[in-house]
Amino acid sequence: MRRRGRLLMALALCVLAGAALAQELDFAAIPLPSDKDDIAAARLSAAEAKQILDQVEQTSFETPDSWQAELRLRRLPIAGGDGLVVRGTAILCGGTGNCETWLFRRSNGAWAKMFDGEAPVISGLGFGRHVSHEMPDLIATASLSSSTSSYVVYVFDGTVYRADACYEVEAVGAKRSAKKVACK
């Protein structure tokens, strides 16, 4: 009887852990910029565009011939303030549809990058349910293969988003299984 109780307890813990993991990876997707969302469409002043391009240049893994041709920008609200998602389109993208993506927030009259260090190369981005320092967690996805994706949960530390937890998610048909992995 004791053995059966332990088995039931272990099974219950697995179910609860799976539910907690599913909740942590649940997010509201941020619409990524499309082809029509060029720098001019973002309606930034020359000074704002320079602030953003300077930060993009400092944190990009590559330098395209033309930042204006490479980047797409879309405005979005972030925790009640102004935000901007910036995404590469060609040279800053890989073969699986992942592109270098930045997130900016207007703070004290200036645009500040939201990721610590180099911008992530991802296929999707969204806000999670948990909030740190009045900012929702950020969840980034990247396609690793046709059936496997990585998920990185970023937590705001009061200044920038930092990777907090990483997962690999395998999808086979309608079934998804996730395992926690070390963040790189």
Query: Domain map of the chain by residue range?
Result: 2-181
Under DSSP, the state recorded for 183 is: -
Q: Mean pLDDT lowest for which of 27-31, 72-76, 153-157, 177-181? A: 27-31
Which token pair is 143? 């396609």
pLDDT digits (tens, 9 = 90+) for 15-45: 333 444 444 678 888 889 999 998 888 899 9
Q: Residue 12: is its pLDDT beyond 90?
A: no
For the whole model, what pTM was predicted?
0.83
Q: What is the pLDDT of residues 66-91, one digit of tens each?
A: 999 999 999 999 888 899 999 999 99
Burial of 71-89, coded b for 16+ CB within 10 Å and e otherwise, reads bbbbbeebeeeebbbbbbb
Burial of residue 168 (number of CB atoms within 10 Å: 0-12, 13-18, 19+): middle
